[in-house]
Amino acid sequence: MPSRYRSALGAASAAILAIAAGAFAPGGPAVAATTPTATAAGLIRVIVEYDDPDAAALAVSRAGGKVGRPLSVVNGFVAEVPSQRLSALKTAPGVRGVTVDGTVSLSAARWRADGDSNSMFSVVRATGALDVWKKLDSTGRNIAGTGVGVALIDSGVSPVTGLNDTTRIINGPDLSFESQASNLRYTDTFGHGTHMAGLIAGRDPLTNLLTVSDPSNFTGMAPNATLLSVKVAAADGATDVSQVIAGIDWVVQHRNDPGLNIKVLNLSFGTDSNQDEKLDPLSHAVESAWKKGITVVVSGGNDGTTRSNLSMPAVNPYVIAVGAADSKGTESRADDVVADFSSRGNATRSVDLTAPGRSIVGLRDPGSYVDVNYPTGLVPGDTTGRYFRGSGSSQAAAITSGAVALLLQQRPSLTPDQVKKLLTSTADVMPKAEKLGSGAGALNIKRAIDAPTPSAAAAAQSWVASTGAGSLEASRGTAHVADPTSGVELTGEKDIMGKAWNGTTWGKAATAGTAWSGGTWNGAAWTGTSMSTGQFPGLPTAKTWSSVTWSGTNWDGRTWSGRTWSGATWDGRTWSGRTWSGNTWSGRTWSGSYWSSSIWQ
């Protein structure tokens, strides 16, 4: 453990561990009071610091408790234990210390969403979504995304308030490395996916969409949409391109499953691949989804002016590539500019439009990697502790995906090409913004809803079709994961299961929408074969795709079985590669851009 944390814990463990759990930001408001947090089952929530993670987890289990999320910044984890066993747990082997977690009240000026131009309370007004919700579709329903499925391929979604509606939030397959840990499966240990999900389809209980005037209520762009979470990333974003491609293929194949109706795919992800987009497998995967009737929204990337290309697969000309706009702290579009971190691309391929992407206030995922390691993302004065602020083309893509869901409820028969045409032809002019990087302008979903439907011929895109026959290794760019035991990176033409990659064979299957056979992809069993309820801890009515125990070996020839799949071992700290766009993660094993958010503050 770093000395700065060890000394701080010795001096004021309760306050510092509250920071570790994400209760407040260092240097922010003073702590007014801390009270123990009890769970519904009568257990006390605690922070367990360990010398030996497995021994500490075993001690919690023997005490009749439950192990929760890892807190890598303090070499610990969250747990729930009976209060009468606290003393015994503190002296158990492998346990360095146990501190009761608490509800921390802060003395500061209260933050209000209606006073923040980057809150979703303000974003839904600036983009016209609030006006759209008051309109009716052809069946007399308010246009809020009802009946439209949005697939989110990301780091999972945690059931925080606003995302705990089991009638709308569904867990698709978990294809991440954490799928093999029952306590981590489906859950967002990173924090990115939860933030995106809230912007797309978050909605607080009992919110009346016709009178959304209470700034204490959180509402995403399409608050009635169905959101399908496909988890591909582990605790610090660790994922391989093969996992992302497998997730896209799964969405395509299951888009018409009962209760899903997947019409939108959000991918806030991109590598620095320079491979021709017609050959790149990741590019071909999103193009295949597009041609199967799914509107694919992709973050343009957060490389600013340092690269002359958008991220892969945003370079694919079919999909909707979104850049991040900076509101300059006002609700007026007149002073909006392209955010400095947002990728500009080049004259051949830049973003199609922009959406709000600077300092966006979304839903916080307490105890997640981002929450623990980037306390500057916490919102000062937020007495609820529910919110987290982030910047990136990720956020811009998520906001746009929600807008697309509104459009597709109004006009379900729109093709992806028509959706793209409507959004780009009705975008607001950004007079202060540079042309390269702003595309057609700023998202205005009200104007798109009010605009006439362009003919299929007028909207049709006729780019040269991709094949996906290129290199999987080239698709990774400089982004690689590594086995946490051996340190061996996954490189070459093989997936995480060590299966050989044949781009020509896979490309044809992806085009046909047949890359999956049951729970098998590229010759290995990755997931289960059915949807059911009762698999998600704490939410017995949540719909969840079944899992499967991985067999065989990974790319390094090491067996999946017999691994220690604890949060302490697989918390992402030992995975190497590239993650969030920008330089936020410099100095760690991850550098550069992968998931397209750059700043948590």
The residues assigned a catalytic role are 154, 192, 394
3-state class of 39 per DSSP?
coil
Q: Which residue has the tokens 């098998």?
A: 520
Residue labelled with tokens 């362009």: 454
Q: Coil, strand or helix: which one is 159? A: coil
User: From CA 335, how far away is CA 185, in angstroms rounded?
Assistant: 43
- Tally the C-alpha atoms within 13 A of residue 393's C-alpha that lie toward its C-beta: 39
- Residue at 117: amino acid letter: S
**Positive or negative CA dihedral for 206, 210, 216, 219?**
positive
DSSP 3-37: HHHHHHHHHHHHHHHHHHTTSS-TTSSEEEEEEEP
The Cα-based distances of 497 to 236, 553, 556 in angstroms read: 20, 6, 9
Residue type (1 letter), 264: V
251-255-260-266 Cα dihedral, nearest 10 degrees: 50
CA 481 to chain centre: 18
- Looking at residue 454, the DSSP 8-state letter turns out to be P
Neighbouring-strand partners of residue 533 = 543
Closest C-alpha among 277, 289, 293, 294 to residue 249: 289
Return the amino acid letter for 61: S
Q: How far is CA 90 from CA 36, 42, 47, 405, in A?
A: 17, 19, 11, 50
3-state SS assignment for residue 38? strand
Helix (H) / strand (E) element for 227: namely: strand 226-231
Residue closest to 238 by CA, chosen among 484, 67, 2, 474: 484
Cα separations (Å) of 416 from 14, 161, 286, 318, 379?
Answer: 52, 32, 12, 9, 36
Q: Comparing C-alpha atoms, which of 5, 22, 218, 47 is closest to residue 104? A: 22
Q: Which helix (H) or strand (E) element contains residue 131?
A: helix 129-133
SS3 203: strand
**Which is it for the CA torsion 301, 279, 435, 123, positive or negative?**
negative
Please give the angle made by the CA atoms of 580, 9 and 380, to the nearest 5 degrees.
Answer: 50
Tokens for 185, please give them: 């499966």
